[in-house]
Structure 1
Amino acid sequence: MLATSTNCVPLRRAVAQQRKNLQRAYHDLVALPKKGPIVSYGPPGRSATTGHVATVFGCTGFLGRYTVAKLAKAGTQVVIPYREEDEKRHLKPMGDLGQIVMTEWDLRRDDQIEECLRHSDIVYNLVGRDTNQAGVPRFVHVSHLNAAHDSPSAFYKSKARGDDLVREAFPDATIVRPAIMFGYEDRLLNNMALWPIWWKLNNMATKIRPVHVFDVAQALANLISVPSLPGVLNLPGPSTLTYEYLLTLVSSVTYNPHSRAPVVPKPVALALARAAQAVWWPALSPDEVVAGTSTMLTCPATGKVGVVPDEIEQHAISYLRRYRSAENFTRPVVFPSSRDAEYGL
């Protein structure tokens, strides 16, 4: 018997709803709690569940990948906002099945940003722009140790301005200020091994406090267990070192001779950078020269996150062995002499 048009209405509605459901994501069909009680279960480790859902903006960057690894290892479900398909694939195996949730997003689309936040109870901002947090209870913003309004560097001024905007939008936010970081993909030890001339600016007298990226990532992951920590959290390295000492460290670990490149005074480097910017594609901007020769602020380390930072000498061989020659690849490490006045410390 043929169905009448009246009988077909419910059927058409059901088919339309089914098609609509097929176009929706899994987290749209299953309502996950965001602000309810946090319940953890399972043995400690990767297969546990902390009950927390964290969104990490900037997760494909240097610090972001290690933050995701630390969170997922503890059993936290991590939302991964990504823009490029190939940049986020390595993050998938960092967590147990279903713990790494990939979400494509556009920084200019507020609706997509809200979609990344809708189920999270803590958000980590590792990119250079603050976002409206759509009712998220916790917000962690990563800045820089040298962020200051009176800094000669436009980069550090922008970091300070970003901190102010975060406080205006989210007064209870935790602002984390790490020093320059070292690790596998860093721009410190690797660049010193490849391009030592860039680190001879300012007569190699610039002082920094390098901190291990693993320590910063662990500090960020530990914040998830702290109910509230508003204000600024400084994360400098344990020691203040000059570029001269670090170049000597790189040479000692790699068994490569010291670079014969001339020491470049800061005024000369600024003049060369301005000239290159005016007549050719700039290899180094003037502000990079200013930022790269700015001594790290002597901010005291904050011991509220349960992390004791490691010295750079403990990990230098792990990141610099690749730059050794074949005959020196297995030789023992010989560190430079003690940190004394010879290195300006």
Structure 2
Amino acid sequence: MALTEDQLFAISVTERVCSAISLTSACAAMSTYLICKKCRKPIINRLIFYALLGNIVLDVATLIARSAIPQGTQSSLCQIQAFLIQWFFPADAIWALCIAWNVYLIVLRGYDYDQLRQLEWIYVPICYLLPFIPAFTFLFIETAERGKVYGPAVIECWISTTWDILRIAALYGPVWFFIVLIFVIYIRVGLLIYSRFKQLLQVSSNHSGIEGPHQIESFSTTDRYEMTVAVSLQCEESRLQRQETAVGSFTLTTTRDSMHSNLDTAAYAYLRYAFLFFIALLVTWVPSSANRLSTLINPDYVSFGLQYTASFVIPLQGFWNSLIFFNISRRECKALFIHTRDDIALKVKRLFDNSVE
């Protein structure tokens, strides 16, 4: 069942509007990163910055929407749009895996700030070179029976319907493999942190129940049980202070007044930031994967609802990454806004005073 012209028009408009929103927010986040020095310190922000570069290119490709389809499969616009989508669409999932891997290295391997910085030069080529290889190769594949790999794909030029199996093999299959890996990493980290929290609670309970002389001796006021759990996504302010990493750190102590509040803060920060990337990834890929699965099961069936949802979520990768960036850097962004506002107000005042004189 083919979609009507009105349905295709609605899909095209939605894809362009979402692409424009994503492109604007991505440019705003990148500009903030370049202007605000403090926003560049967290490794997580730098990784988001690198990911936004790919998001912007993807947004440019999705802004074309269905405009390349009428020009035909052999047209340069159709081939370029399909190539860019195949290249940069899965790159965001690989960046999410790199971010999850950083969390693993920090919590389970004890990596510090400098060690994580050294991994950045590895992450960039992995995230962009890995999907580039099949995307570039598909430009040159063509058979008499199926034609070129890149061609019309309902909402834009991408892998054509005659090569539908490649959509699973070259995109959806690898991406869901990455999603499963991310899920496993976060489960492993979460279990470790939960185990440490239980240890801290046990120590706190023992500490509050001190009665005998030997217990007082073993839990003296100078004896503190400390543990650093790297779970918030903040970087170190100084290497001379307590060791902090690219996702930050919290010092958890058994002091009766502070242990529980620090514990809650650490748990909240972990859940808030670590799973934020995972949720954003699922929001992007679950609807489009459902659409692709329905097409694979029944090639003759085209769901307007699934196609429309896919056109809505696919271009928004840059928007979600920008949202995460501004959430992490909200204090620095607020300070930058206040400074800029005051600076503009001062310049306007001086201009006004000079005009009066």
What TM-score does the superposition give when structure 1 sets the normalisation length? 0.23
Question: Of Structure 1 and Structure 2, which has the larger fraction of its residues in helix?
Answer: 2
What TM-score does the superposition give when structure 2 sets the normalisation length? 0.22
Question: Of Structure 1 and Structure 2, which has the larger fraction of its residues in strand?
Answer: 1
